[in-house]
Chain A
Amino acid sequence: MNYQVTEEGFYGDFGGSFIPEMLHSNIDKLQRQYIEIMSDASFQKEFRSLLKDYVGRPSPLYFASKLSKELNTNVYLKREDLNHTGAHKINNTIGQILLAKRLGKTRIIAETGAGQHGVATATVCALMGLECVVYMGKIDIARQAPNVARMRMLGARVEPAFSGSQTLKDATNEAIRDWINNPVNTHYIIGSVVGPHPYPDMVARFQSIISEEMKWQLKEHTGKENPDYVVACVGGGSNAAGAFYHFLEDEDVKLVLVEAAGMGIDSGESAATSVLGSKGIIHGSRTLLMQTEDGQIVEPYSISAGLDYPGIGPLHAHLINSKRAMVFSATDTQAIDAAFHLTREEGIIPALETAHAFAILDQVGAKPEETMIVCLSGRGDKDLSTYISYLDGKEVKRH
């Protein structure tokens, strides 16, 4: 099976470019030029050098001995949390800002949920001296205050999205409207593998550095070519796309996605798109999304702002549909428990998004001789106020 995007931007039935004419000229230009620009030697040189010296790559692959013992298998953590700005998001924003400069754009817009992509975008705009506007749902502005402050300190304007559920979906709508209003000077840095073609493929390629490093790092650690499992949380799915990218065609590497179940899949307060969604169009892409019979997009819910999205990237919809990827889900409570567990066992405070991936590791069924890599996509500094509210009753029991 082929998991690469077609020339028209499809992964199986999913993907494509369903956009109003107002966006056509920019999207068409990107479609025609992104591969050429990204393959250019000077682009690659600049991209690689910034990833190394500015982001701090390669990010370590860490053998988590206590988790391994507990799960009776071999667990490695890909430490994207150690990147500059605290998550994998910066891999993509570095790539896209270099691309935007080559397209002659002077103004950058972005959407953000948890604020990690917003911070990563504000950071590269500061680095390159470009104007930056970040759209963020009003509810997310409240629940991710430290990241809002960081974006402002970096010189970005944070614009609240007041429509709909006032979260990631609505921030994305506002960013699209801004781009319609400013088609000439502005580039839209989408933060996930969502949106019209070529965004899902372009973002996946920028994030593919994650699995590129995993491969040689695992070999260095164990001598093995491939892990048996790669596990990642999924909202839109950019860390998962990056972690899976170089394993897509190796069918013996099992790919594991973890969605946010919110209060529970059947609670009406969930973001488990693969279970609750059906085929439709969101943000210019045909994919799985949560919707009513009449095609109205349903407002999702998750404690984690980064996973609180009613759709999923078209690559992941294809991986799920073709059974290439397994899907699990974790509730808010399970994610919180997993975050505390990882912190107490390995001394790593994960982002709430990432914590979802850790909540289901015991369900994967990895055998003692097998190897599992978990993408530790972000650190939890931004979520401290949420974690603090759960501190009571989580006393340490150490022997």
Chain B
Amino acid sequence: MKNRLTDLFERKKNNVLNIYFTAGHPTLNSTVNIIQTLEKNGADIIELGMPYSDPMADGETIQKSSAVALNNGMTLDTLFAQVEEARQTVQIPLIVMGYYNQLIQYGIDRFVARCAAVGIDGMIIPDLPMAIYEKDHKSLFEQYNISHSFLITPQTSDDRIRQADELSSGFIYVVSQSSITGKTGDINKEQEAYFERINAMRLKTPTLIGFGIHDKATKERAFNFANGAIIGSAFIRSVDGANGNIESTIEEFLQGVIG
């Protein structure tokens, strides 16, 4: 069984661009179109946010887009159906990001099996502890060849980074700063020192830097220190500002970021 995410990192070691958006936002049925347009315009990975009522790690932009998606009637089954439809036409690695309670209520076995069936390659569940993943879920994820990315932050100890490296597949999510998602400042010296510390550890899993990556400049800085970057809130803000034509907004956004 192939995993498109692992395949991607085998052929592309640098400048990997992962775009996050909340599924079901801005409209319930925009998901497939956004996936297709992102692939067409140069994204390497798409991270689909599974909208959640209480997204603890997310800033205002993702909170609001999640609330809109839930109001639009978004559910996990709808998301799986949309991914299944998108998979008819796209080859890009697709991963889902959400909160552990969503998996628990859906049934974790059922959730992972469904991901594999519709063509999802990986998952990011920020509030799933490494110890519980290892003990209860790792073999299930491996059985279905679904990757799981753990987060590391500037406060994460070296020992714990090694543990994340052991347990992650696909990539490690390097949280760029001590913050929730959606910040728009520049990357500072302190962050660079943190990125360098991680580089010096020579991890076996590829790294993507996210949180606060919002434009070409911050993306380029992230590319210098890791295998790639993740843009979320900034992309959602541009979609929110779209005047009618969502395809051209996405095209412009990616042109601006990729250049």
Contact of A164 with B by CB under 8 A: yes
Give residues 131-181 of B contacting A (CB, 8 Å).
132, 150-153, 155-157, 160, 175, 178-180
Contact of B117 with A by CB under 8 A: no
When the two chains form their complex, are residues A294 and B76 in contact, meaning their CB atoms are under 8 A apart? yes
Contact of A184 with B by CB under 8 A: yes
Contact of B253 with A by CB under 8 A: no
Which of A20, A24, A184 touches B56 (beta carbons < 8 Å)? A20
Contacts of A183 in B (CB 8 A): 155, 178
Which of A20, A182, A294 touches B127 (beta carbons < 8 Å)? A20
Interface residue stretch chosen among B36-44, B100-108, B214-222:
B100-108
Interface range for A: 20 to 34
| CA of A25 to CA of B57, assembled, Å | 15
Contacts A/B (CB < 8 Å), 20 sampled: A18-B128, A18-B129, A18-B132, A19-B129, A20-B151, A21-B153, A24-B160, A164-B54, A180-B57, A180-B178, A182-B178, A280-B105, A281-B99, A281-B101, A284-B127, A291-B101, A291-B105, A294-B75, A295-B52, A297-B53
Known: A20-B151, A173-B56. A282 touches B156 (CB 8 A): no
When the two chains form their complex, are residues B152 and A21 in contact, meaning their CB atoms are under 8 A apart? yes
| CA of A293 to CA of B53, assembled, Å | 13
1/0 per residue, CB under 8 A from B, across A154-178: the answer is 0000000001100001000100110
Known: A25-B155, A180-B179, A184-B178. A20 touches B57 (CB 8 A): yes
1/0 per residue, CB under 8 A from A, across B71-93: the answer is 00001100000000000000000
Give residues 178-231 of B contacting A (CB, 8 Å).
178-180
Interface residues of B (CB under 8 A from A): 52-54, 56-57, 59, 63, 67, 70, 75-76, 99-106, 126-129, 132, 150-153, 155-157, 160, 175, 178-180
Contact of A17 with B by CB under 8 A: yes
- Tell me the minimal C-beta distance from A178 to chain B in angstroms: 9
| CA of A258 to CA of B70, assembled, Å | 32
- Tell me the minimal C-beta distance from B74 to chain A in angstroms: 9
- Tell me the minimal C-beta distance from A8 to chain B in angstroms: 8
Contacts of A16 in B (CB 8 A): 129, 132
Contacts of B152 in A (CB 8 A): 21
When the two chains form their complex, are residues A169 and B156 in contact, meaning their CB atoms are under 8 A apart? no
Contacts of A24 in B (CB 8 A): 153, 155-156, 160
Known: A163-B63, A163-B67, A177-B59. A21 touches B151 (CB 8 A): yes
Contact of A22 with B by CB under 8 A: yes
When the two chains form their complex, are residues B105 and A293 in contact, meaning their CB atoms are under 8 A apart? yes
- Tell me the minimal C-beta distance from A255 to chain B in angstroms: 28
When the two chains form their complex, are residues A22 and B175 in contact, meaning their CB atoms are under 8 A apart? yes
When the two chains form their complex, are residues B56 and A176 in contact, meaning their CB atoms are under 8 A apart? yes
Query: Which A residue's beta carbon lies closest to that of B152?
Result: A21
| CA of A26 to CA of B152, assembled, Å | 14
Known contacts A21-B150, A21-B175; 6 further A-B pairs (Cβ under 8 A):
A176-B56, A280-B101, A281-B127, A295-B52, A296-B52, A296-B53
Q: Which of B102, B150, B157 has the most CB of A within 10 A?
A: B102
When the two chains form their complex, are residues B100 and A281 in contact, meaning their CB atoms are under 8 A apart? yes
Contacts of B126 in A (CB 8 A): 20-21
Contacts of B75 in A (CB 8 A): 294
When the two chains form their complex, are residues B156 and A21 in contact, meaning their CB atoms are under 8 A apart? yes
Contacts of A283 in B (CB 8 A): 56
1/0 per residue, CB under 8 A from B, across A25-42: the answer is 110000000000000000
Query: Which A residue's beta carbon lies closest to that of B104?
Result: A280
Contact of A343 with B by CB under 8 A: no
When the two chains form their complex, are residues B56 and A177 in contact, meaning their CB atoms are under 8 A apart? yes
| CA of A291 to CA of B53, assembled, Å | 10
| CA of A177 to CA of B75, assembled, Å | 25
Contact of A6 with B by CB under 8 A: no
- Tell me the minimal C-beta distance from B65 to chain A in angstroms: 12
Give residues 260-302 of A contacting B (CB, 8 Å).
279-284, 291-297
When the two chains form their complex, are residues A295 and B180 in contact, meaning their CB atoms are under 8 A apart? no
Q: Which of B56, B57, B152, B160 has the most CB of A within 10 A?
A: B56
Contact of A181 with B by CB under 8 A: yes
Q: Considering the complex of A and B, which 10 residue pairs feature the smallest CB-CB distances, nearest first?
A: A295-B105, A25-B155, A20-B126, A21-B151, A296-B53, A295-B102, A281-B101, A20-B57, A295-B101, A297-B53
